[in-house]
A and B are shown apart, each in its own frame.
Chain A
Amino acid sequence: MKALVIVGHGSHLNEDSSLPVYEHAARIRECFGDEYDEVVECFWKEEPSMRHVLDTVESEEVCVVPAFISEGYFTQQVIPRELGLAGPVTHRGGKTIRYAGPLGTFEGMPEVILERVEDLLRGKEVPPGRTALVLLGHGTDLNKSSGGVIYLNAGRIRERGLYDVVAEGFLDQEPEIGEVVENVEAENVILIPVFIAEGWHTRETIPEDLGLTGEVTVKDTATGEKTIFYGAPVGTHPSMAALIAARARETERETEVVQSAG
């Protein structure tokens, strides 16, 4: 038997945080159900905890995919520790457990971002002029890789030449998102939060700090009038389910190679 375990951060305070994990798990059961006997959710701050989830899994073959954007503290330290993982492949209690990297660095991520943009712009009129795509990350001065994933995806999308400008902005590191939106040289700004879930930042701090009134805001800035299109977080997009399933398949392939090479 084979199981997919999706790890989310979760929250002690609100239900928004874990919702995308449950939704993606449900979609994977529905669309990729023939690949897995079990699709199981677990969390850092909710139940079942990472600490105990593997005991609830009946399958011998387990693939763990973290529903996290960045490589960093959680994916490198907390998740392996709490799940008791020894590396990319762990054998324990009759189970073979394969551990995937985060979703943000995976090659399929730009597609999900672009689908999010498409959903946002559907049925809306984009005024004439230049269009900038701005990827918004949380970022932190404490961990360089946290912002790296935003640059990685921006770079991959830039290569496709779809927008006049592709820029990056952050909440907790430079360049600060407010300044990026203010100074970017485009009449239309598509702002996509590369976050895993809706929450305090996406619903409150970001709209408040940037003076956004909804999905479309027309605003005067230092570089002229701009129409700002504000999207929902990438992590709640339905296509994330396919991305998680693809990440799991990739991990199975990679670890097969590692195992046979070892």
Chain B
Amino acid sequence: MSKAPAKPSTNQSVATASREAFAAWIDEAPEGRVFGQVLIRRDGEGGYSLRHRDDAGVVELDVHEEPREAREISKLTERGEYRPLKSSPNLRRGWELRMKDAHGLAVAMNYLYPAAQVHWHLYREGRLEVTSYRENAARQSGIYKRIQRLSDEGVQNAARACCKDAVCLKKTLWDVDEETPLAMDRGDGEIPCPEPCSVFVSFARRVRLFEREDRRDLDEIGLSPSEKEDLAALVETASAGKVEYAREAEFEEPLNERRLRYRRLTLLPKLRPAKSPKD
């Protein structure tokens, strides 16, 4: 683990410091700040107004004054699907959180983007501890122990499928290991990602199972059983006129978005060897 510099000598906790720093960052921007998909503005009475950034100019919003109601807002997508990863770009619209002070702001932010405020602060101060994929994998046990055997290429493709801005708004700071950086666009957002999250670990486990299959079970044209299963599911559902994705972190299902993104990276080159997918 990369060593963080010694903490400041004051007794102030990093959570307290980050709450104050975050509020100050908002205070110094009269037009407001965008954090993830949330637009945060001063309200003129010492408080803060939070809403979806796409609702910047919307007047009629559902107003909430209790910071913990942010949890309900962040729980389901517009279509009512469960959001296991709060940094997915699928925060619903139509609400406003009116927080009366920086405490309320911090509580609400911790439900909209858990731990993001403190990571943002530590990153700005240059003391956010970053944990590589290999360090994270080394401490896994039980059903996740097998992610230790995921190849470097598997980690790279899993990260491209699981972590890019199209599916997660965090800026990916971690690498495969100290010598092997992630070769991808790490994202433009304000929220740093210091370590593979549990959704990524679960996805990495699925990709590791694909890798095992690749070696043993390829048919004469080089396709694995699960690749054929995914293609069959796609043809079946698309021919019926409607492709419905599986749940966001349901990686065992063929029509999971991240699983399909992984297929784009690894299956398309097999199907169309002349063209490589644009990353």
Contact = CB atoms under 8 A, between A and B. Distances in A.
Interface in A2-58: 11-15, 22, 26, 44-49, 51-53, 55-58
A52 B250 contact: no
Interface stretch (A73-81, A195-203, A238-246): A73-81
Contacts of B249: 12-13
Nearest to A25: B68
B91 interface: no
Determine chain A's interface SS by DSSP, over half rule: loop
Contacts of A57: 13, 15
Q: How large is the interface on A (under 10, 10 to 19, 20 to 34, 35 or more residues)?
A: 20 to 34
B84 A93 contact: no
Interface residues of B, number: 35
A60 interface: yes
Given A12-B249, A13-B250, A81-B139, A48 B115 contact: yes
B14 interface: yes
Contacts, number: 79
B162 interface: no
Interface in B181-216: 194-195, 197-199, 202
B198 A12 contact: yes
B266 to A, nearest CB: 22
A77 B71 CA distance: 29
A96 interface: no
Interface string B1-31: 0000001000101111001000000000000
Contacts of B114: 47-49, 52, 56
Given A45-B84, A48-B114, A56-B115, A13 B15 contact: no
A238 to B, nearest CB: 18
A59 interface: yes
Contacts of B75: 15
Q: Which of the listed residues B76, B198, B247 has the most CB atoms from chain A within 10 Å of its own CB?
A: B198
